[in-house]
Structure 1
Amino acid sequence: MDYEQVLEQYRPMISAIIRDFNIYKDFEDYEQIAMLALWKATQIYDEERGAFSSIAYTLMKRAVGDALRKNIQAAKQTPVESDTLQHLTESSTDENETLEWLILIFEKLSPEERKLSHMYWIEEIPNEELAERFQISYDGVTKRKYRLLTKLKKIASSIQKNET
């Protein structure tokens, strides 16, 4: 099966799949994902397994959907973390004052919370490795980080109230 011919034939299907997910931003990125899935379909296609169009459609739809879910999940997590860190440090323009303020905040954390904070923000260790080091699941790491961020916000807020 010649991929170039298949690609030309299935371009309308690729566009339809992307439109089904209401994707308009980063259209080209998702188009590439669908094209890669189409190529994979040409590699694994077996006439005994059914029509090529249904296999191609399934693989492309699944690939685009998975990529979209990953991007949505990443978008949900990133702003919370970066907003919190910005919130924690924006109260002062003086580096020494900011450092003292951060020390006050981190003194209120448990040793395990300090360790997680350091490993995540300073050492920039990814969640997968944190899960291994803490011997918990990936979801457990994300839940701990969420609770830690919530706690950091509360501590920062209470320190700011006490300073004013």
Structure 2
Amino acid sequence: MNNYQTARQQYSFEQIYQQYTPLVHGMLQRLHIHSNHEDFLQAGYVGLWLAYQHHDGEKGPFPAYAFLRVRGEMLTMLKKDANYYDRHSFSPDDQEPAQVRIETESWMPDLDTLAPYLNMLSDREQRWVIEHAVHDLPPRMIAAKYNVSVETVKGWRKGALAKLRKYVK
């Protein structure tokens, strides 16, 4: 096993900061971050600080650990931002976010709504539409329910969507 010294034993944080600034800035490009640069840079530097504080020389070299911590902090911030914008909508009139409530029952189709469309589909394609649209099952669950492969269910989906697209046009 390699025995590396910890980053704290070798360098001050100021030295690490100077040496790894290109890593933090490069991570913005690597993750395709195009807005809120200052916030993401701050998250990257927090990751660098955490890497500096928690690096264990027994577990490996500092550069690899720093890369993971910087990337991890930025990805965590991206996920938090995505969740926030998914759950809130902004109106142009006021700057305060309004909580968006999703009522799945109001937009989920029922068999009566789907009946006119099901007539043009094969039995297998109808199974896919009902299981997916009404019961919200993914292909793997539909495959398990009907004891077929996932690829078979994807074939049902492909056929059903092709027929439905023709009908809609």
Using the size of structure 2 for normalisation, the TM-score is 0.48
Larger Rg: 2
Using the size of structure 1 for normalisation, the TM-score is 0.50
More helix by share: 1
